[in-house]
């Protein structure tokens, strides 16, 4: 550690590099493990919001869908602040649209945590350059 680094750390301006390494790894591994790149994740986020919006009014700007990893289990965590539930007829229509038997409880949970497969699937194809 150089003197400059040391002073920066004393002043709380810079995290120790070991801590940065851990944070960066956790993020990159969450993606590696799910085999989703940021682009796909963004697409999925938009589609999830679309579906959820059929049932409840949500704050799109505040909506957050991300991958979190703990103990080799990667979870897709969606945090979607609900403004209000949609009126019932709309709900039934939406349920029919996605092939559900009945409309779900409008008091539904606000946070959805879907565990993804912990491990990337067996190599999709031998030709995959990866």
Distance in Å, CB of 11 to another protein, minimum:
16
Distance in Å, CB of 26 to another protein, minimum:
7
Distance in Å, CB of 118 to another protein, minimum:
8
Task: Identify the helix (H) or strand (E) that includes residue 56.
Answer: strand 56-58
Cα distance between residue 91 and residue 105, in whole Å: 10
* Residues 108 and 84: beta-carbon distance below 8 Å: no
Which residues, other chains included, contact 121 with Cβ-Cβ below 8 Å and sequence gap of 6+?
Answer: 35
Comparison of 32 and 41: residue with beta carbon closer to another protein: 32
Distance in Å, CB of 15 to another protein, minimum:
9
Strands 64-70, 111-115: pairing kind: unpaired
Comparison of 4 and 109: residue with beta carbon closer to another protein: 4
Residue ranges in contact with another protein by CB under 8 A: 1, 16-19, 21-22, 24-26, 28-29, 32-33, 71-72, 118-122
Comparison of 90 and 118: residue with beta carbon closer to another protein: 118
Comparison of 71 and 105: residue with beta carbon closer to another protein: 71
Which residues, other chains included, contact 81 with Cβ-Cβ below 8 Å and sequence gap of 6+?
Answer: 58, 59, 62, 63, 110
């Amino acid at each position: 550690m150089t003197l400059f680094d040391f002073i920066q750390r004393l002043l709380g301006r810079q995290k120790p590099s070991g801590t940065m390494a851990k944070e960066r790894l956790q993020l990159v591994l969450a993606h590696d493990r799910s085999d989703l790149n940021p682009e796909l994740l963004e697409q999925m986020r938009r589609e999830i919001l679309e579906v959820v919006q059929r049932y409840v009014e949500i704050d799109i700007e505040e909506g957050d869908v991300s991958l979190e990893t703990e103990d080799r289990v990667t979870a897709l965590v969606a945090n979607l602040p609900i403004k209000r539930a949609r009126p019932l007829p709309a709900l039934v229509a939406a349920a029919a649209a996605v092939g559900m038997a009945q409309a779900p409880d409008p008091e539904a949970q606000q946070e959805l945590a879907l565990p993804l497969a912990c491990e990337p699937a067996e190599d999709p194809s031998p030709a995959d350059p990866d």
